[in-house]
Amino acid sequence: MSETYFALLTPAGAGAIATLAVRGPDAWTVCRALFTATAGELPENPDAVPPGRFYLGQFGEEMRDEAILALCDTSPPWVELHCHGARELLDMLCELFRSRGIGERSWSEWHHETAMSATRASAAIQLAHAPTRRTAEILLHQYHRAFDDA
């Protein structure tokens, strides 16, 4: 099985919301250990959670922050954490993942490793640098499989 890794999918910024994604065999186990749900507990097995399910709670160890945890897929487990986007908080969360042996990827590496096709990954990466709205529309259309469907 492949290694577990995380990526910061959004840029850091004061007042922003950040998205960290974790994918691999240990993604659910590590995130479950660091997350306390507001209501109830998270199931031990990610297969017991329907993909797309969101949990509200707190994430971290000694210092905890409010967050939303979402299971995006179960094979392999792919978990997204949506939290405050302050640089210091994100540095702390990234260090938590690293301290548990979770590898790190850039957001562009993440897209290459998780996209369905090379064309889709390339469109997602180029979308972040689109100079005009029209260019962004074209790239978004390509990301949603325009070439694959053609």
Report how far apart, in Å, the C-alpha atoms of 42 and of each of 18, 86, 103 are.
22, 26, 23
Mean pLDDT of the chain: 84
Across 23-32, 98-107, 137-146, least confident range: 137-146
The 3-state DSSP class for residue 123 equals helix
pLDDT at position 36 is 94
HSE, side-chain direction, 13 A CA sphere, residue 103: 12
Whole-structure pTM value = 0.75
pLDDT at 1: 36
The stretch 20-48 carries a mean pLDDT of: 92
Asked if pLDDT for residue 85 goes beyond 70, the answer is: yes
CA–CA separation, 74 and 10 (whole Å): 22
> What does the pLDDT average to over 84-100?
91
Helix 118-127 × helix 133-143 angle, to 10° = 150
Q: Left, alpha or beta for 79 (phi > 0: left; psi -120 to 50: alpha)?
A: beta
Question: What is the C-alpha separation between 8 and 115, in angstroms, rounded?
Answer: 16
* Out of 23-27, 44-48, 67-71, 123-127, least confident range: 123-127
Local confidence band at 110 (pLDDT 50, 70, 90 cut-offs): confident
The pLDDT of residue 19 is above 70: yes
Q: What number of other Cβ atoms are within 10 A of residue 87's Cβ?
A: 13
